[in-house]
């Protein structure tokens, strides 16, 4: 389900990533890791080594798993933001989630 957000700079679509978003999401992730390596556990060189096909598989797994997702923000066909969310899998943590990989392009 997509959600439209009106901003002074134009409309932004917020939605769950699909495997078709893999190449663009990979590029946004590389931008995030390059610009702010201190903010992420992932390594830019390891992420560069992963092709769009790896990202497509990862996103497909998230789509199948109802407790994990990557949300993306899209403006005029470009991904400008992302955030991952995962629900706890232990009985004591199923009521909570972890937000990860949050990034918004400065442009």
By the 8 A CB rule, do 104 and 80 touch?
A: yes
Domain residue spans in the chain?
3-104
Report the chain's mean pLDDT, rounded to a whole number: 93
How many beta carbons lie within 10 A of that of residue 64, not counting itself?
8
Confidence bin at 63 (pLDDT 50/70/90)? confident
pLDDT digits (tens, 9 = 90+) for 6-31: 999 899 999 999 999 999 999 999 99
The whole-number pLDDT of residue 94 equals 84
Superfamily (CATH) of domain 3-104? Gcn5-related N-acetyltransferase (GNAT) (3.40.630.30)
């Amino acid at each position: 389900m997509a959600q439209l957000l009106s901003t002074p700079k134009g409309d932004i679509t917020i939605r769950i990533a699909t495997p078709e978003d893999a190449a663009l999401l990979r590029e946004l992730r590389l931008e995030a890791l390059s610009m702010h390596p201190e903010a992420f556990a992932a390594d830019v060189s390891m992420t560069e080594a992963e092709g769009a096909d790896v990202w497509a598989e990862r996103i497909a797994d998230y789509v199948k798993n109802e407790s994990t997702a990557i949300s993306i923000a899209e403006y005029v066909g470009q991904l400008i933001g992302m955030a991952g969310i995962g629900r706890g899998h232990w009985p004591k943590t199923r009521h909570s989630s972890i937000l990860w990989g949050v990034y918004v392009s400065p442009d």
